[in-house]
A and B are shown apart, each in its own frame.
Chain A
Amino acid sequence: MRFKLLRGAVFVLIASLPLWWVYQAWLFALGPDPGKVLVDRLGLGTLILLMVSLGMTPMQRLTGWPFWIIVRRQLGLWCFAYVVLHLAAYLFFILGLDWQQLGEELRRRPYIIVGTVGFVGLLMLAATSNRYSQKRLGARWRKLHKLSYVVLGLGLLHFLWIVRADLKEWTAYGLVATVLLLLRLPAIARRIPRLITKKPLSATKG
């Protein structure tokens, strides 16, 4: 595949962030409750990676540069990796691996339920991200992967229910997500202008 160096750079950048955070926590640079900070950063990282991967198709339409589509799968898988770490950190730092408590939380807390449903969504997307699944599912694959829009909504709701007193940050994410979803409406998607017209559209756009 092309863009080996660029894809490698993306890989190193995204992989090194959680390592950097753990190192900071180890140095006590994250304050007295490093577990909570890690949970929050990994959660926000998941949301950002999901939005970045959803930004790839519009970017490709705008620029015609095939890199956006080529790196998209990697970004999606990173989004899944972050949500797995987010969940693991929550189980370890917040619940203290108390499985009985996990049952309670799953039954009673709407934001935990919404987060779990979102997680299952991302799991399905990650599990079907390989070529084999793409071939096997054919046209249904594209339909299934529209699930990412639903997951984005669930992620934002999960985030909203954690906000206690100031909606500024959430509103910023909500606005970006709205733009990303609007760009998918056929009426708008058709009108995305091509800024650079050099190469033909990549065949894998979706």
Chain B
Amino acid sequence: MLIKLPKASDSLESEVTPQSSYFSRRSLLGGSVGLLAAGALPRWARAGEASRYAEVDPSSPPAWFTAKLADTRWQAMTVPGEAITPFKDASHYNNFYEFGTDKGDPAANAGSLKTEPWTVVVDGEVGKPGRYSLEDFIKPYGLQERIYRMRCVEAWSMVIPWLGFPVSELLKQVEPTSKAKYVRFETLQDPQSMPGQRSSFGLIDWPYVEGLRLDEAMNPLAILAVGMYGRELPNQNGAPLRLVVPWKYGFKGGKSIVRISLTEEQPKTSWQQIAPTEYGFYANVNPTVDHPRWTQARERRLPSGLFSPNVRDTLMFNGYADEVASLYQGMDLRKNY
């Protein structure tokens, strides 16, 4: 007998959008009346599906992005019982050291990042290496909305609705060779548009590099995101293409990716190179293994109010243990932090 046990992260049937409202949404958008009306609306109101979320900044998405939205699987994954972080917070409280070390720096400085045209290189141990414009790179994949917890290694967290596609779909396309053991993600290096890369007191050896073991990258939870909150990614959140690995600390999610390489050797990731005793290659969210300088047992869920700090317990693998714990069977997570 086949018994299917629901995973903690599975959506309940009751949470599924009724088909009628799903289709009526499309018929409204697709209908000629809707199109005519849309023409009369200001630009921001036409910007895809941003109106799904309150107070999302107006944006001007590239045409390929808007086209993808029509077939997006909304709420493919949710975080039941936890509120989504307001867009303003998710887009104005960022670690993106290429644009400065203060949380507000990326939002203030990332306007200089030019995301069009954008080229992504796939190379290394793959059968089909290539160099793509972002539009061509994305073409084979349908977008899904994945609402994930995001736990920063600094002990704060958010809940963010991403738009993206599983890394595994990309890997199947590019055909890793038998030698491929790791995936390396490289962020743009452009001191001209990235003031943080111009600092002579910086400790990071640019470009920023992150990586996953191949089986981690193949896990269905790992996605490459091109949008959030129903719109394209704001520059400060890693536009136009970033990695999201919800069971790992946020710094594992490389932003503004220009190169994806399959490698035989474990990539030398940026934080591990600066402080190997503080940041490991795995960086799985783990409340029982502390950062040398602070505890990881608890986190501040943002927004955290002034008079009622929103402090909560951190979950093993950030609450995704059912899906990913098997990846680390037999490994000492105290050593492989």
Contacts and interface: CB of A to CB of B under 8 A. Distances in A.
B303 A32 contact: yes
Nearest to A167: B201
Interface string A166-177: 111001000000
Q: What's the dominant secondary structure at chain A's contact region?
A: helix
Nearest to A34: B306
B85 A32 contact: yes
A15 B201 CA distance: 33
A92 interface: yes
Contacts of B309: 35, 92-93, 96
Interface stretch (B1-9, B89-97, B220-228): B89-97
B304 A166 contact: no
A33 B199 contact: no
Contacts of B101: 164-166
B279 to A, nearest CB: 10
Interface stretch (A48-56, A101-109, A133-141, A185-193): A101-109
Contacts of B204: 165
A33 B104 contact: no
Contacts of A25: 306
A22 interface: yes
A16 to B, nearest CB: 18
| Residue of B199, B204, B293 with most chain A CB atoms under a 10 A cut-off | B293
Interface in B246-297: 274, 290, 292-295, 297
A101 to B, nearest CB: 6
Interface in B187-237: 196, 199-204
A166 B302 contact: no
Given A167-B203, A171-B201, A105 B295 contact: yes
B196 A166 contact: yes
Interface string A15-48: 0000000100110100111111010000000000
A29 to B, nearest CB: 11
B103 interface: yes
B156 interface: yes
Nearest to A25: B306
B315 interface: no
A31 B93 contact: yes
B300 interface: yes
B272 to A, nearest CB: 13
Nearest to B90: A32
A22 B306 contact: yes
Interface in A79-113: 92-94, 96, 98, 101, 104-105, 108-111
B295 to A, nearest CB: 6
| Residue of B89, B93, B97, B295 with most chain A CB atoms under a 10 A cut-off | B295
Given A33-B93, A165-B204, A166-B199, 9 more contacts: A31-B89, A31-B104, A32-B92, A32-B303, A33-B303, A35-B306, A36-B300, A96-B309, A166-B201
Interface of B: 85-86, 89, 92-93, 97, 101, 103-104, 156, 196, 199-204, 274, 290, 292-295, 297-298, 300, 302-306, 309, 311
